[in-house]
């Protein structure tokens, strides 16, 4: 088989073959639509069951992640978080904030103090949040900074619907935290089901990494102006002097390599 340009067509990957064979009625999710019976059962159960862990969710923040080994694959991520303690949050991640959003992953967020206590082998799973919370500064502003910019400082991370003053207070808490993120559903490649092993994700650490069209699209949907938000964050959020050693492993490994998950066949115990 040849492509339109006359060259041999690239054979579909294993996940593409699997995805194409899955029956689906919804445009992006495998399986039949939810039946009336299921909807009625869901309504009844939701009125009688206890969802205590979910009721602890008290925060929604939106950011962007990239696959730890591939920065070209960038995903919008909506975090719904609860606080386990003052120094730890746990978040479920969806691909949007719509009622039909897909659950695509989880993230654990911890303080710098807890991160620095981790062994070196564990630290490679974690990323910093500095740049996200404080919008990407202009070159002139960056030249004045004595420290690098990271996730929080870029303003890529924001809380939909939260007043700016309250949001800045929350960003100040997040600016020196560290996240461990796994995505279980690779929606960016069109998978109709969660296929393959969970993927380690990272956060952006500098200007020019995140696609501008993704930010522009989110700004349009939420009525945000990232340029204005950036300037506010520069004035209201104070970043740490440095990023803790061991975070953002992809910036530290040699030969352009990065850590990612693979399956390993192990001896079964019983």
Asked if the structure places residue 30 within a domain, the reply is no
In a domain, 4, yes or no: no
Q: How many domains does the chain have?
A: 1
140 pLDDT band, cuts 50/70/90, is: very low
pTM: 0.81
Q: Which ranges of the chain would DSSP assign to H, the alpha helix?
A: 14-21, 36-48, 52-55, 112-116, 120-123, 130-133, 139-144, 164-174, 212-222, 226-236
Residue 40 lies in a domain: no
State how far the Cα of 20 lies from the Cα of 15, in Å rounded to an integer. Answer: 9
- Least Cα distance to 239 among 124, 155, 126 occurs for 155
Query: Do the domain assignments include residue 76?
Result: yes
Q: Residue 137 has what pLDDT? A: 40
Q: Is 261 inside any structural domain?
A: no
* 47 token code pair: 């009125």
What integer pLDDT is reported at residue 256 of this predicted model? Answer: 85
Residue 264 falls inside a structural domain: no
195 inside domain: yes
Q: How high is the pLDDT of residue 125?
A: 98
Query: Which residue range(s) make up the domain with 67?
Result: 55-252
pLDDT digit string, tens, across residues 31-40 = 777 788 877 7
In a domain, 182, yes or no: yes
> 164-174 and 226-236 helices cross at what angle (nearest 10)?
60
pLDDT in tens, 206-247: 889 999 999 999 999 999 888 888 888 888 999 898 999 999
Q: 119: how many CB neighbours lie within 10 A of its CB?
A: 7
Choose between 50 and 213: higher pLDDT: 213
Whether the Cβ atoms of residue 65 and residue 75 lie closer than 8 Å to each other: yes
């Amino acid at each position: 088989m040849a492509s339109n340009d006359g060259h041999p067509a690239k054979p579909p990957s294993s996940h593409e073959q699997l995805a194409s064979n899955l029956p689906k009625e919804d445009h992006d999710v495998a399986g039949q639509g939810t039946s009336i019976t299921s909807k009625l059962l869901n309504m009844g159960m939701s009125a009688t069951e206890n969802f205590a862990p979910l009721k602890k969710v008290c925060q929604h923040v939106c950011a962007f992640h990239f696959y730890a080994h591939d920065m070209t694959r960038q995903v919008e991520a909506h975090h719904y978080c609860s606080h386990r303690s003052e120094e730890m949050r746990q978040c479920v991640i969806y691909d949007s904030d719509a009622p039909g959003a897909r659950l695509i992953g989880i993230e654990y967020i911890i303080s710098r103090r807890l991160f620095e206590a981790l062994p070196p082998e564990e630290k490679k799973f974690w990323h910093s949040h500095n740049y996200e919370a404080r919008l990407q500064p202009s070159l002139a502003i960056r030249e004045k900074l004595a420290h690098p910019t990271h996730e929080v400082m870029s303003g890529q991370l924001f809380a939909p619907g939260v007043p700016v003053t309250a949001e800045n207070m929350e960003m100040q808490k997040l600016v020196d935290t560290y996240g461990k993120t796994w995505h279980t559903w690779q929606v960016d490649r069109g998978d109709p089901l969660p296929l393959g092993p969970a993927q380690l994700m990272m956060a952006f650490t500098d200007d020019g990494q995140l696609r501008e069209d993704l930010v522009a699209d989110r700004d349009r949907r939420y009525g945000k102006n990232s340029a204005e938000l950036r300037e506010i964050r520069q004035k209201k959020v104070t970043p740490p002097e440095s990023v803790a050693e061991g975070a953002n492993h992809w910036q530290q490994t040699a030969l352009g390599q990065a850590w990612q998950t693979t399956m390993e066949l192990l001896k079964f115990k019983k």
